[in-house]
Amino acid sequence: MLKKTFVLIASVVLIATMFAGCGNIAGSNVRINEKDITPFNAVSIDTSSTRIELVAADRFGVEIFVPKRFAPEWDVTNGRLTIRDNTTNYVFSGITINNDHYVKVYYPADTTFADMTLASSSGKIDLPQVNVADLSITSSSGSINAGAEKFDNAIIESSSGDITFSGSGGYVKMTSQSGAVRSDTENCEEISVTTSSGRADLADKGNVATVLSVSTQSGRIDAKGGVWRDVTARSSSGGTTISGELLGNTYVETASGSVIISVNGSLSVYGYTLTPGSGSIHLNGERMDKPALSSGSYDNHITVTTSSGGIRLDFSS
């Protein structure tokens, strides 16, 4: 009996020792709070399991809350704020311990950033609407909620978290392996979306023709906008819905979902090629008793191909 008791006590001590360096458990966190630092117009943040948040304020500052053993570092050099830590999620006996650690960056709301790079392995990233030329955001398993204005390039990648993006500018690329992608943009030049197992909900309310490319393996595609140009949409097992003014060539392909397209324009200036594998065709609300349907060649052409879904194509005039 004594031997069993000793083994039990030793096991408890061992577990406590292993968890002693896990930040909040041992009370060994470090907090850095600098309210007024050197101004900066570029940001580089690289963390492991820390939440990243940018906050509009009346001055430049940083606030960091991480375990002391991960030795956070930050500095401002040549106008660039750089923050690094080595925070990690610990797993023991199938239990993951996630401490509520974070990195917060404060900046005046009228700041114009040259570039911004935010990376977190398993932490959430929150970025309000900022004025930035080049934006790069990467998260392995945390969600991303970001906004940007007047950007040239915005590259946003998540392995298993959702992506939500808003703003206006040039080229936007959003990639998610197993999360949904949502965007609400205005007058972007080009939007590219790739997701493996999440749906894509896209909206653009501007009057600038936006090149659109969307691909998903097992999620729906919903794109509504003012003006789309040269649209390419592919879905393996989800339906596709597109609305707006469609300029240039529109190509939609699905394996096992239906396609619904609503065009702000006249049928007289559009060509189309509609080929459903085993579904019906509806053109301007009328069911067409044909296995495929096509018209002549125009500057604006819509091509839709499905394997096992129907096709509906409607024009506003």
Structure-token match 């044909």, residue found: 290
Q: How many residues does the chain have?
A: 317
Q: Cα–Cα distance between 152 and 186 in angstroms, integer? A: 14
The secondary structure of 114-136 as a DSSP string is EEEEEEESSS-EEEEEEEEEEEE
Q: Cα–Cα distance between 50 and 65 in angstroms, integer? A: 9
Q: Cα–Cα distance between 23 and 21 in angstroms, integer? A: 6
CB 22 within 8 A of CB 90: yes
The secondary structure of 259-275 as a DSSP string is EEEEESS-GGGEEEEEE
Domain ranges of the chain: 162-317
How much is the pLDDT for 67?
A: 78
Could you give the C-alpha distances from 194 to 32, 157, 168, 170, in angstroms and in order? 38, 10, 19, 18
Q: Residue 88 is encoded by which pair of tokens? A: 């990690």
Output DSSP code: residue 20.
T
Nearest partner of 149 among 187, 206, 195, 190, judged by Cα: 187
Q: Cα–Cα distance between 156 and 167 in angstroms, integer? A: 13
CB 116 within 8 A of CB 40: no
How much is the pLDDT for 94?
A: 40
How much is the pLDDT for 86?
A: 65
How much is the pLDDT for 44?
A: 98
| pLDDT in single tens digits along all 317 residues of the chain | 433 333 333 333 333 333 333 333 335 888 999 999 999 999 999 987 789 999 999 999 999 998 787 778 999 999 999 999 764 444 433 434 445 889 999 999 999 999 999 998 878 999 999 999 999 999 988 899 999 999 999 999 998 889 999 999 999 999 998 899 999 999 999 999 999 888 999 999 999 999 999 999 889 999 998 899 999 999 998 899 999 999 999 999 999 999 999 999 999 999 999 999 888 999 999 999 888 999 977 899 999 999 999 999 999 98
First-residue to last-residue Cα distance in the chain: 88
- Phi and psi, residue 49, nearest 5°: -125, 35
Q: Residue 150 is encoded by which pair of tokens? A: 């007047």
In 192-202, which positions are buried (b, 16+ CB within 10 angstroms) versus exposed (e)? bbbbbbbbbbb
CB 310 within 8 A of CB 290: no
Structure-token match 């006996």, residue found: 93
Q: Cα–Cα distance between 66 and 30 in angstroms, integer? A: 6
How much is the pLDDT for 14?
A: 35
Q: Cα–Cα distance between 42 and 51 in angstroms, integer? A: 19
Displacement of CA 197 from its chain's centroid (Å)? 13
